[in-house]
């Protein structure tokens, strides 16, 4: 897909933040649980805010979500955008967020970095690494980690087989694609096989493209299970917090 000559693409972040966090066992949306004295999502947004090449970050909330503005009252501004257009699935939320970006003037050739709200340990330098690797790429790419452990298949609670880990990677976020490619890719994938779309790359792959794999970091974990909160808490406590996105008293 060609976007023409002489265009200077910008970079935007999109954070789907409409989930309910059932697996995390938090009793509510995990993105609002407190970690190291701040809501989980505040750590995520702080890292994005510290990447100068991101023109703005759009947070996509569930309709009627009033907790975000209460917990992060100072987020919205020139580089902090909010849209309460989230859907029933992550892919639907991202697709609605892409439409919101278009309405704000984001162009088809601009890059969108979709990042999980629950990956609160992401560092600005890892985001910069992804941008550096993908800026001149025709397709785009994602942070990912080569699989290091032995992989097993399961049947009825027992090992059913062993898979080769050769050439296998664990996908992370951000995942960076042009708006003009990602939006139709997600729309088509949701129409044809919504159950197969677990990240943005999978939608791009369905169109026959091969996204670039950019080495990530093991610390860029996604808060999914109850035990993940304790691990993230320990890691975050070792960092110096920024006051920019502190919740109100």
Express each pLDDT in 12-28 by its tens digit. 999 999 976 544 445 56
The CATH superfamily assigned to 11-140+173-245 is: Spore Coat Polysaccharide Biosynthesis Protein SpsA; Chain A (3.90.550.10)
Confidence of residue 208 (pLDDT cuts 50, 70, 90): very high
Q: Judging by beta carbons within 10 Å of its beta carbon (0-12, 13-18, 19+), is residue 176 exposed, middle or buried?
A: buried
d(CA 224, CA 116): 11
First CA to last CA distance, the chain: 49
How confident is the model over 33-54, as pLDDT tens digits? 998 889 999 999 999 999 999 9
How far, CA to CA in Å, does 84 sit from each of 18, 81, 94, 124, 171? 8, 10, 12, 26, 27
pTM of this structure: 0.90
3-state secondary structure of 127: helix
Angle between helices 90-103 and 179-192 in degrees, nearest 10: 140
230 exposed, middle or buried (CB, 10 Å; 0-12, 13-18, 19+)? exposed
Domain ranges of the chain: 11-140+173-245
pLDDT at residue 248, rounded to an integer: 41
């Amino acid at each position: 897909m060609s976007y023409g000559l002489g265009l200077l693409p910008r970079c935007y972040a999109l954070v789907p933040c409409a989930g309910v966090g059932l697996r995390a066992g938090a009793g509510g949306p995990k993105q609002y649980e407190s970690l190291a004295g701040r809501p989980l999502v505040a750590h995520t947004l702080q890292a994005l805010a510290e990447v100068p090449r991101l023109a703005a970050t759009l947070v996509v909330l569930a309709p009627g979500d009033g907790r975000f503005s209460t917990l992060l009252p100072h987020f919205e501004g020139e580089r902090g955008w909010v849209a309460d257009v989230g859907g029933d699935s992550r892919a639907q939320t991202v697709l609605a967020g892409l439409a919101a970006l278009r309405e704000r003037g984001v162009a088809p050739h601009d890059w969108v970095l979709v990042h999980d709200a629950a990956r609160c340990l992401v560092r600005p330098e890892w985001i910069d690494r992804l941008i550096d690797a993908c800026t001149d790429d025709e397709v785009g790419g994602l942070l990912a980690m080569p699989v290091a452990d032995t992989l097993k298949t399961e049947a009825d609670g027992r090992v059913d087989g062993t898979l080769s880990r050769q050439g296998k990677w664990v996908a992370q976020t951000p995942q960076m694609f042009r708006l003009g490619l990602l939006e139709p890719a997600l729309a088509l994938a949701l129409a044809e096989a919504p159950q197969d779309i677990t990240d943005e790359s999978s939608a791009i792959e369905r169109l026959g493209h091969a996204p670039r794999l950019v080495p990530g970091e093991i610390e860029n974990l996604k808060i999914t299970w109850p035990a993940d909160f304790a691990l993230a808490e320990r890691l975050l406590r070792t960092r110096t917090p920024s006051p920019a996105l502190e919740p109100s008293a």
